[in-house]
């Protein structure tokens, strides 16, 4: 079964809610999913998954340094050719998910659309979009098998 790693940074839980919903969507399509806060993950482990989904909320018009460093480590290890997705909650500008997607694409990851950004706390409709992203990712993963 293809495996999906979902890694997130979330200060108040909004991006975490998104991450759990993406996981739910992928699991509905029978993908083996592990979802956790970035500080619970070892980048070397994440690099072994078939697909990598990274989420971060936006702070001061960018992503916070710990998740940026995590991403750099992951890219140094090598994730070229994998499938990916980027997401995150934001307040008013929402750069972090866009920057994550850019970094992943530069590293040779096929990042699927949409780069999902939800303003503040996700509502039911927002969570349905996250579930949809998880399903889309799962379908793409299966096509690659």
Ligand X SMILES: Cc1cc2nc3c(=O)[nH]c(=O)nc-3n(C[C@H](O)[C@H](O)[C@H](O)COP(=O)(O)O)c2cc1C
Length of the chain: 145
Phi-psi region of 78 (alpha: psi -120 to 50; beta: other; left: phi over 0): left
**Is there binding between residue 13 and ligand X (CB under 6 A)?**
yes
Compute the least distance from the CB of residue 54 to ligand X, in Å: 13
- Which of 2, 7, 35, 57 is in the footprint of ligand X by CB under 6 A? 57
**Is there binding between residue 123 and ligand X (CB under 6 A)?**
no
- Which of 12, 39, 44, 128 is in the footprint of ligand X by CB under 6 A? 12
69/52 Cα distance (integer angstroms): 16
18/15 Cα distance (integer angstroms): 5
Compute the least distance from the CB of residue 90 to ligand X, in Å: 4
CB under 8 Å to 36, separation ≥6 — which residues? Answer: 6, 7, 8
**Is there binding between residue 78 and ligand X (CB under 6 A)?**
no
Compute the least distance from the CB of residue 126 to ligand X, in Å: 11
- Which of 32, 59, 77, 102 is in the footprint of ligand X by CB under 6 A? 59
**Is there binding between residue 66 and ligand X (CB under 6 A)?**
no
49/65 Cα distance (integer angstroms): 23
Residue numbers at the binding site for ligand X (CB under 6 A) = 10-15, 57-61, 89-94, 120
């Amino acid at each position: 079964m293809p495996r999906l790693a979902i890694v997130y940074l979330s200060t108040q839980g909004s991006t975490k809610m998104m991450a759990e919903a993406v996981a739910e969507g992928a699991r509905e399509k029978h993908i083996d999913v592990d979802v956790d806060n970035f500080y619970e993950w070892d980048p070397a482990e994440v690099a072994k998954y078939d697909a990598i989904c990274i989420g971060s909320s936006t702070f001061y018009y960018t992503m916070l340094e710990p998740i940026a460093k995590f991403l750099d480590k992951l890219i140094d290890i090598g994730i070229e050719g994998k499938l990916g997705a980027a997401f995150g909650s934001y307040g008013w500008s929402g750069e972090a998910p866009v920057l994550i997607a850019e970094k992943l694409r530069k590293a040779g990851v096929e990042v699927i659309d949409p780069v999902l950004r939800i303003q503040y706390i996700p509502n039911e409709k927002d969570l349905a979009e996250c579930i949809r992203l998880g399903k889309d990712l799962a379908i793409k993963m299966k096509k690659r098998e």
